[in-house]
Structure 1
Amino acid sequence: MTTGTPPPTRPRRSRARRFLPLALAAWLVLEIWLLTVVASAAGGLVVLLILVAGAVLGAVVIKSAGRRAFRNLTETLQQMPGRP
């Protein structure tokens, strides 16, 4: 028995949502390929040191950005009117 209403249609995905997983996979393959090229040219120990240095530098940058954001939040909250 039909009610005469059309079946629901699925919304179309945008191009960005369709190609984002493909772009991410291509980025990962490119990064691994570049890592192997650098490792074959410079040596495995050098690449390992570069990876560790990048992780440490990234942690320092993230930590300082977090501290700066927390400091800005604290200053903003202290300047709000109606604070006891």
Structure 2
Amino acid sequence: MSGLSKVRKSILPEAGDGWAEIARRELPDLPEVEAVNRLQSWNLHVFLRAPAPAGSPRAGNPILPSDVIFVEPPLAP
């Protein structure tokens, strides 16, 4: 029987979270701009999604409460 593999650390965002809010909460030791850049590069599945249309409650924010947001880089093989 094989052991459990290490799982990449991730979160589900809180309602209304944007990149900056997640960066401040999950990567507090980094400058905000660097932390946001890292999060976006680790989460291209969300970062490259088209933002919600103007007038929508989520306008300009592609992050959904159901998105899995990785808060660490991909694990080495």
Mark yes or no: TM-score above 0.5. no
TM-score, normalisation: structure 1: 0.22
For CA contacts below 8 A with separation 6 or more, give which structure has more relative contact order: 2
TM norm structure 2: 0.23
**Structure with the bigger percentage of helix:** 1
Compare CA radii of gyration and give the structure with the larger one. 1
- Return the structure number with greater strand share: 2
